[in-house]
């Protein structure tokens, strides 16, 4: 690993020069709703002072809906039009961990070319962040990154420490090497250590994820699932905003009057009713509580059992998004012994007023 320094006024000039031939995507504030990753035309709009974007970067690699094939007369032609060279700037550690989980998933046994082509064509420029009350990444141990980025910018008041994580990242630095300072002074190291200590103290929420597999197992038939199921709107928002949710549906859309089709792949959600329905109308998870249970056993139990860590990266998006307050935080706390009725009363008080 090589670390260099970049003074803050040199950030935009650096982004300008590297994005001359490649599209740059970065966080931008959307009026009245939050931050989004967006293609940048105006560098003044880039806003790195954000906690979480509405949607995670997965939308850039696998858009909510895209074409897999154009087909006519039983001749299927691959369509990779969603793939183009991109630089993605301002990605937080939790989202980088989300991409690492996606990488493993989409290359497991069979490689998914729609994901891997888009991933291979995108450079990841990470950015440090500061937690709010919903950030859980310290509990999931995803508040720091050691891989999965080409460059990573740690924000230290007047300058950035830039961690070079790949050969491509090194090439980027060399595009305008004059902007960077190779010498890291003792003062910089001290301010990094101080930043890290203060940032680690700033977390307000903690979840004991290592206890979750056993608790999910023991409470598998608990009435809490029924109660959560009654509150759940089955809207699928939690899955849409989750950086590690990857389920999708495939639809054959025929063109009217022609013998041709577009094979469209679009996001799906295990919390939606027809998700597990098979031929003849048999549905393995007709109840909302069963589908919620699937989501949470997957995130909090199954993945931990298989890979030793949760498939939650602690980004807090489900907390910020769920309209009825069912999220990793409330479910984990409920599993951990918080009275579900008190949660229920709080929910009624807060939502009904």
Partner 1 sequence: MSVEKNELNPKNPFLPEPARIVRMYPLTDDVKFFQVRIADMEKALAFKYRIGQFAMLSVLGAGEAPFSISSTPSRPGLLEFCIRKTGTVTEALFRLKENDLIGIRGPYGNGFPVVQIMGKDVLIVMGGLGAAPLRSVLLYCLDNRDQFGRVILLHGAKKPSEMIFREEFLDLKQREDLECYLTVDEDDTKKWKENVGVVTTLFPKINDIYPGNTFSLVCGPPVMYKFVLKELVKLNIPKDQILMTLERRMKCGVGKCGHCAIDYIYTCLDGPVFTYWDVIHMRELI
Binding mask 158-177 for partner 1 (x = CB under 8 A): --------------------
Q: Could you give the residue ranges of the DSSP H alpha helices within the chain? A: 11-18, 58-61, 93-107, 113-120, 167-175, 186-201, 212-218, 224-231, 237-241, 288-297, 303-307, 317-321, 328-335, 340-352
- Bridge partners of 34, per DSSP, are 30
Smallest gap from Cβ 307 to partner 1, in A, equals 9
9 vs 14: CA distance, rounded Å = 9
Please report, to the nearest 10 degrees, the dihedral formed by the alpha carbons of residues 261, 267, 272, 275 taken in order: 60
Smallest gap from Cβ 321 to partner 1, in A, equals 20
- Give every CB contact of residue 114 below 8 A, 6+ residues apart in sequence: 62, 66, 68, 80, 82, 83, 265
Q: Is position 237 an interface residue for partner 1 (rule: CB under 8 A)? A: no
Q: Is position 254 an interface residue for partner 1 (rule: CB under 8 A)? A: yes
Of 28-36, 47-55, 147-155, 244-252: span binding partner 1 (CB under 8 A): 244-252
Among 3, 235, 270, 320, indicate the residue that binds partner 1 (CB under 8 A).
270
DSSP state of 324: T
Smallest gap from Cβ 175 to partner 1, in A, equals 32
Q: How many residues bind partner 1 (CB under 8 A)?
A: 49
Cα–chain center distance at 113 = 20
Residue ranges in 174-213 that form contacts with partner 1 under rule CB under 8 A: none
Q: Is position 289 an interface residue for partner 1 (rule: CB under 8 A)? A: no
20 vs 13: CA distance, rounded Å = 11
Residue 204 vs 210, nearer CB to partner 1 = 210
149 vs 154: CA distance, rounded Å = 13
Number of H helices, E strands in the chain: 14, 12
Q: Could you give the residue ranges of the DSSP H alpha helices within 56-166? A: 58-61, 93-107, 113-120
Residue 299's Cβ-side half-sphere holds a number of Cα atoms within 13 Å equal to 24
129 vs 143: CA distance, rounded Å = 9
Among 144, 294, 320, 324, indicate the residue that binds partner 1 (CB under 8 A).
294
Smallest gap from Cβ 190 to partner 1, in A, equals 44
Of 3-11, 31-39, 166-174, 282-290: span binding partner 1 (CB under 8 A): 282-290
Residue 164 vs 300, nearer CB to partner 1 = 300
Residue ranges in 50-109 that form contacts with partner 1 under rule CB under 8 A: 68-69, 71-76, 78, 105-106, 108-109
Residue ranges in 107-126 that form contacts with partner 1 under rule CB under 8 A: 108-114
Among candidate residues 179, 183, 172, the one with its CA nearest the CA of residue 149:
172
Among 53, 142, 301, 330, indicate the residue that binds partner 1 (CB under 8 A).
301
Smallest gap from Cβ 180 to partner 1, in A, equals 39
Smallest gap from Cβ 72 to partner 1, in A, equals 8
Query: Which residues make up the interface to partner 1 (CB under 8 A)?
Result: 68-69, 71-76, 78, 105-106, 108-114, 220, 246-252, 254, 259-261, 268, 270, 275-280, 282, 284-285, 294, 297-298, 301-303, 305-306
């Amino acid at each position: 690993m090589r670390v260099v320094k970049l003074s803050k006024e040199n950030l935009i000039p650096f982004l300008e020069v590297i994005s001359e031939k490649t599209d740059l995507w970065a966080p931008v504030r959307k009026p009245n709703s939050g931050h989004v990753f967006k293609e940048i035309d105006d560098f003044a709009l880039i806003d790195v002072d954000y906690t979480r974007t509405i949607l995670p970067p997965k939308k850039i690699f696998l858009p909510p809906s895209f074409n897999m094939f154009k087909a006519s007369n039983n001749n299927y032609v691959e369509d990779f039009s969603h793939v183009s060279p991109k630089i993605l700037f301002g990605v937080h550690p939790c989202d980088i961990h989300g991409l690492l989980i996606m990488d493993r998933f989409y290359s497991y046994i069979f490689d998914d070319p729609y994901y891997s082509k888009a991933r291979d064509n995108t450079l990841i420029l990470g950015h440090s962040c500061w937690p709010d009350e919903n950030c859980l990444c310290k509990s999931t141990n995803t508040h720091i990154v050691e891989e999965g980025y080409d460059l990573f910018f740690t924000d230290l008041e007047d300058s950035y420490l830039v961690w070079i994580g790949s050969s491509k990242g090194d090439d980027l630095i060399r595009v305008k090497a004059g902007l960077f300072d190779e010498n890291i002074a003792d003062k910089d190291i001290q301010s990094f250590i101080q930043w890290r200590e203060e940032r680690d103290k700033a977390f307000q929420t903690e979840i004991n994820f290592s206890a979750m597999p056993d608790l999910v197992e023991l409470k598998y038939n608990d009435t809490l699932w029924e109660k959560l199921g009654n509150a759940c709107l089955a809207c699928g928002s939690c899955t849409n905003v989750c950086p590690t949710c990857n389920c999708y549906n495939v639809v054959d859309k025929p063109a009217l009057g022609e013998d041709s089709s577009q094979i469209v792949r679009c996001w799906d959600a295990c919390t939606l009713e027809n998700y597990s329905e098979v031929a003849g109308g048999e549905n393995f998870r007709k109840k909302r509580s069963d589908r919620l249970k699937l989501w949470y056993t997957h995130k909090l139990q199954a993945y931990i059992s298989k890979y030793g860590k949760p498939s939650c990266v602690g980004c807090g998006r489900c907390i910020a998004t769920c309209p009825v307050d069912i999220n990793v935080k409330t479910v984990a706390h409920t599993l951990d012994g918080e009275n579900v009725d008190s949660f229920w009363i709080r929910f009624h008080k807060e939502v009904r007023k």
